[in-house]
Amino acid sequence: MTSNAESTSDERVKSESLVTKFMKRPELGAMGGVILVTIFFYMTADSTMFTLSGTMNFMTPAAQLGILGIAAAMLMIGGEFDLSIGSMIAFAGMIFGVLTVNFGLPLILAIPLTLGAAASVGAVNGTIVIRTGLPSFIVTLAGLFILRGVSLVGLKLFSGGSTQLRGVRDALEGDPLIEIFSGDAFESLFSYLASIGMVETFKNGASKVPGIPVEILWFILLAAVATYVLLRTPVGNWIFATGGDSNAASNSGVPVKKVKISLFMLTAMAAALVAIITVIDAGSTDARRGFMKEFEAIITAVIGGCLLTGGYGSAIGAFFGAIIFGMVTIGLTYTNFDQDWFQVFLGGMLLLAVVFNNVIRKRVTGEH
C-alpha cells in the first residue's frame, strides 16, 4: 500500500511555485524591457517626457504600432507570418479615401467596406498559404509588393495623377462616427481636471492634454480582447495548438484551416483600422503610408514573447513591446542622442528578445 508521503511526492501532482509560473509567461521579457527602458530615459531624458502630456506623446505611436503588433502576435502564435500588413495600411487607406472623397460615402458605410476589402485580401493570403503549402513568408512578401503597387496605381487614378489623395477631413465633416476614430476622448473630463489643477495647463488655462487619443483606447481594447480570447476561450486553445503542431491539432478536431485564414483576416483588418485612424487624423492618404510597419509589428510580437516557430506567445507581451517602441521612438527626442540610434535599437532588441525568450523557456521547461 502506497504511503501518504510517497503519494504527495509524486512528480505528476507537484504544484508549481508562483515564480515558476511567472517565469513561463511569454510577456516576461517585454515587461522587463519596459522597466529597463523607463529607467534609461528617466536618467537621460528631459523630465517632461514622463509628464501626462509626454506620456500621451509616446503612447500615440505605440498604440498605432500595437494594434498591428497584437494581431501579428496572434498570427505568429498560429504559426504564420504576414509581411504585407504595412502595404495593407496604404491599400486600405486608398480604399477608405476613395470611398469617402470620390464616392462621398459616410463612415457608417466606408468603414465596413474598407474592413471588408482588407479581410478579403487576408482571406486570399491564408487560402493561398494553405492550398499551396508555400511558406506564408513568401506569399505575404509577394502581397507586400502587390498591395503597394496597387496603392500607387489606384491613387494616381482617383487623384488625377498624384500618389496622395486629400480632402478626407472635409468629406467627413459633421459625420457622427468621426469621434470614434479620430481626435481625443474624454475632453470634458480633462478640461475639468485642468480647471481644478490636476492636469497641466498652458498660461491661458487650457489643458496641455485635451484628452486621450482614440487610438490608445483602441489599442487597450484590442489587447484586452485578444488576451481574453487566447487565455479563456476554446479559440485561443485552437490558435496555440495550430501553431504548435498543426497536424496533431487537425487530428484532434481543431479546424486548422479556418483558424489560419481567420488570423490572416485579423491582421489585415488591424492594418485597415490603423489606416482609417491615421487617414482621418491626417486628412489625406498616400502610397507610402505604413512603410516598414510590417517589420516593426513582427519585432513587437517577438519582443512580446512570440516564437518564430509558432505555438508560443502573448498578446499582452506585444502590448508591452509596442510601448517600448513608442518610448524609444519619442524618447530619443527628449535626449541629446542622435535619433538614428533607433535603428540600432530595433536590431538589438530583436536579438536580445529572441535569446532571452529561448533561454528562459529552456530553463523553465527543462529543454536542452
Reported as a single tens digit per residue, the pLDDT across 119-144 is 999 999 999 999 999 999 999 999 99
In order of start, what are the domains of the chain with their CATH numbers?
20-365 (1.10.3470)
Give me the residues paired with residue 214 across strands: none
The structure's pTM equals: 0.90
The better pLDDT of the pair 30, 121 is held by: 121
Asked if residue 349 has pLDDT above 80, the reply is no
pLDDT of residue 12: 46
82's grid cell: 504576414
Question: Secondary structure of the chain in the HEC alphabet?
Answer: CCCHHHHHCCHHHCCCCHHHHHHCCCCHHHHHHHHHHHHHHHHHCCHHHHCHHHHHHHHHHHHHHHHHHHHHHHHHHCCCCCCCHHHHHHHHHHHHHHHHHHCCCCHHHHHHHHHHHHHHHHHHHHHHHHHHCCCHHHHHHHHHHHHHHHHHHHHHHHHCCCCEEECHHHHCCCCCCHHHHCCEECHHHHHHHHHCCCCCECCCCCECCCCEEHHHHHHHHHHHHHHHHHHHCHHHHHHHHHHHCHHHHHHCCCCHHHHHHHHHHHHHHHHHHHHHHHHHHHCEEECCCCCCHHHHHHHHHHHCCCCCCCCCCCHHHHHHHHHHHHHHHHHHHHCCCCCCHHHHHHHHHHHHHHHHHHHHHHHHHCCC
pLDDT of residue 26: 78
Place of cell 485564414: 261
Mean pLDDT of 319-345: 86
pLDDT of residue 164: 92
Reported as a single tens digit per residue, the pLDDT across 269-285 is 999 999 999 999 999 99
Mean pLDDT of 208-218: 92
